[in-house]
Amino acid sequence: MLKIIKGSDVRHLDSLHIQRKGISSLLLMENAALGFAEWFNSQSYLGNERVAVFCGAGNNGGDGFAIARLLSKLGWKVTLFTCFEPGTLLSPDAKSNFDLVPSAVRLQSWKEFNPSSFDVLIDAYLGVGLKGELRKEAKDIIQAINSFQGQVLSVDVPSGLPSDSNCSWECVRASHTLTFAFPKLALLFPENAQFTGELVVIDIGIEDSELMEIDSDYFFLQKKDVPNYHRKFNRFAHKGDFGKILLVAGSKGKMGAAYLSAKSALRTGSGLVTCLIPESERFIIQSSLPETMVVFEDQVDYSKFDAIGVGPGLGIDSVEVLEKVLDNYSSPMVLDADALTILSKHKNLIKKVPKGSILTPHLSEFERLFGKTDSHLERLKIAKEFCLHYSLNVLIKGANSVICLVDGRQIFNSSGSRFMATAGSGDVLTGMLTSFLGQGYSPEQALICGVFQHGLAGEIAGKEKLRSTIASDILEAIPETFKQLSIS
Ligand SMILES: NC(=O)C1=CN([C@@H]2O[C@H](COP(=O)(O)OP(=O)(O)OC[C@H]3O[C@@H](n4cnc5c(N)ncnc54)[C@H](O)[C@@H]3O)[C@@H](O)[C@H]2O)[C@@H](O)CC1
Ligand SMILES: Nc1ncnc2c1ncn2[C@@H]1O[C@H](COP(=O)(O)OP(=O)(O)O)[C@@H](O)[C@H]1O
Ligand SMILES: [K+]
């Protein structure tokens, strides 16, 4: 799994990589520029676009010089805008690439930039070497870039954005950010989405194991990582091996939540799914989902279940229902939706939640549980302290949901799409997580497989249905996620 290290550690990473592979730093810069050019080529640009490349005096600018050369060689009409005064000392690798810029590339100062003369803008002005507050001229250059109406492709980070924190100033507003080796932390914060645009990670040959040598608790989960976290079942596996789970979900008017969680759990592979629901609502589940069983509050033996998921559609007044589950079950469970709202109003119940359990708040639920926060960085800190203190896992939901583990590691998910922002998609996730727990997955395995596959299912459904995607489409795409990951 990719580790997310600090921007200030990137130089150290580079020198480790350069030593190990016996390559020059210039070749590493060339790999970055080649990766960018390859991505650019794979997009539907027509070949007659006029490309503006803004370059600074550091290595981010160096990437820009190399990109300008490569795109020019590929036939694009490139103009390079220097964002430094004549006579400025360039970083050594930037200087080497500046000297290699072919004559077919026009050179101008950023002050001469006319936005209407270009179709695409590449922002290689400032990267992870940004220090302190933006200088006055940097603000003017960023404003000039932001006056451009077409696509803005930022190299490594949108210029002006600090790599690991937030800022109070205006940064480049990119349509895409093509970041090298690993996503810089600030690119994963919701408050920076306005600057980052779509995020693309470009492989420049640095291996996961090289990143592992640098200290950090942040990770980035990608498709290639997931199969290793799955359990394998042999040909004698019976439905008991795939787990008996209980979903404590649904109330009058909210039975859809129970239905969605239960069906998702079945699609994720659960052997037996039982719903604990109000007796008056039993017909809804029994007739819509014959594969599930239902039980009512006075008849349930919690201890016979391999995993329990509580909360979707439960109703925020169901305090006793939640308390009874917590008093009668000691293995890790999943707590979502109304169960989280109840916990936030009855904080004394938190210590009853079994160690290793998974809490899945979206941002409002997070705020209800932990109070108002100013930034994602603050949320991550609060979640980490909570996880360590209570030995609980927290999933902060949203784009790039963050899996916060009991030992303090925090894993950002890469799958998902904006079309998942629809009623019931969280209920689908609760079903999936509970299902994996019931199949004998550890909470960490359940989170990694469940969160990634839920996002992937959302991507699959969204590709077909765009903003018409509904939660049922997401759950019906679960089988395709197993196929794509080759999990039988
Ligand atoms: N392993 C990697 O990730 C690689 C990174 N490379 C590139 O190298 C970049 C980092 O290069 P550098 O360390 O040279 O740094 P940058 O090029 O990001 O920044 C240095 C420049 O920013 C200016 N600057 C710094 N703080 C400023 C402020 N507050 N206001 C205005 N200007 C300011 C400096 O005067 C200098 O010109 C990465 O972002 C990436 O683009 C690639 O070349 C190769 C591989
Ligand atoms: N813009 C987005 N990009 C990626 N995933 C998203 C986005 N918006 C929502 N999601 C995902 O959809 C799910 C929504 O969950 P939740 O807010 O609990 O929905 P509900 O309460 O309607 O079931 C979460 O897993 C979240 O990560
Ligand atoms: K940049």
Structure-token match 């002005």, residue found: 125
Q: How far apart are the two ends of the chain, measured CA to CA in Å?
A: 22
Q: What is the mean pLDDT of residues 118-127?
A: 97
pLDDT-based confidence at 72, cuts 50/70/90?
very high
Q: Is 132 assigned to a binding site?
A: yes
> Is the CB of residue 84 less than 8 Å from the CB of residue 138?
no
- State the DSSP string of 402-417: EEE-TTS-EEEE----
Whole-angstrom Cα distance, residue 354 to residue 466?
39
Q: Six-digit token pair at 111? A: 């002050």
Q: Six-digit token pair at 386? A: 């909570």
Whole-angstrom Cα distance, residue 241 to residue 449?
18
Nearest CA to ligand 1 atom 41: 60
Q: For 160-191, how does the pLDDT look when each residue is reduced to its tens digit (9 = 90+)?
A: 999 999 999 999 999 999 999 999 999 999 99
Domain at 2-208: CATH code: 3.40.50.10260
Q: Six-digit token pair at 209? A: 């194991």
Whole-angstrom Cα distance, residue 79 to residue 25?
25
Following CA atoms 85, 91, 92, 94 in sequence, which dihedral angle do they give, to the nearest 10 degrees?
Answer: -70
Q: What is the mean pLDDT of residues 98-104?
A: 97
User: Which residue ranges make up each domain of the chain?
Assistant: 2-208, 227-484
pLDDT-based confidence at 299, cuts 50/70/90?
confident
Task: Give all strands (DSSP E) within 181-279, no chain letters.
Answer: 198-202, 218-221, 244-248, 272-276
Is pLDDT above 90 for 216?
Answer: yes
- Residue 314: how many CB atoms within 10 A of its CB? 26
Q: Say what the pLDDT of residue 239 is.
A: 80
Q: Say what the pLDDT of residue 241 is.
A: 84
H-only helix segments in 105-158: 136-146
Greatest extent of the chain over all pairs of C-alpha atoms, in Å: 82
pLDDT-based confidence at 44, cuts 50/70/90?
confident
Beta bridge partners of 308: 246
Give the side-chain half-sphere CA count within 13 A for 340: 25
Whole-angstrom Cα distance, residue 431 to residue 267?
9
Contacts of 171 (CB under 8 A, 6+ apart): 142, 158, 159, 160, 161, 192, 195
Q: Say what the pLDDT of residue 298 is.
A: 87
The percent of residues in the chain predicted with pLDDT above 70, rounded, is: 100
> Angle at the Cα of 406 (from 437 to 393), degrees rounded to 5?
50
Is pLDDT above 80 for 45?
Answer: no
Q: Is the distance from the beta carbon of residue 271 to the nearest atom of ligand 2 less than 6 Å?
A: no
Q: For 325-370, how does the pLDDT look when each residue is reduced to its tens digit (9 = 90+)?
A: 999 999 999 999 999 999 999 999 999 999 999 999 999 999 999 9
Whole-angstrom Cα distance, residue 139 to residue 42?
32
Is pLDDT above 90 for 237?
Answer: no
Q: Say what the pLDDT of residue 48 is.
A: 74
pLDDT-based confidence at 235, cuts 50/70/90?
confident
Q: Say what the pLDDT of residue 177 is.
A: 98
Whole-angstrom Cα distance, residue 299 to residue 150?
63
Q: Is 63 assigned to a binding site?
A: yes
Q: Six-digit token pair at 183? A: 């996503």
What ipTM goes with this model? 0.92
Contacts of 487 (CB under 8 A, 6+ apart): 227, 230
Around ligand 1, the residues with Cβ closer than 6 Å are 10, 13-14, 28-29, 32, 56-63, 91, 126-135, 138, 155-156, 180-181, 204
Fold (topology level) of 227-484: UDP-N-acetylmuramoyl-L-alanine:D-glutamate ligase (3.40.1190)
Is pLDDT above 90 for 104?
Answer: yes
Q: Six-digit token pair at 266? A: 């079945």
Ligand 1, residues 21, 130, 201: which to mutate, most atoms within 8 A of Cβ?
130
Q: Is the distance from the beta carbon of residue 346 to the nearest atom of ligand 2 less than 6 Å?
A: no
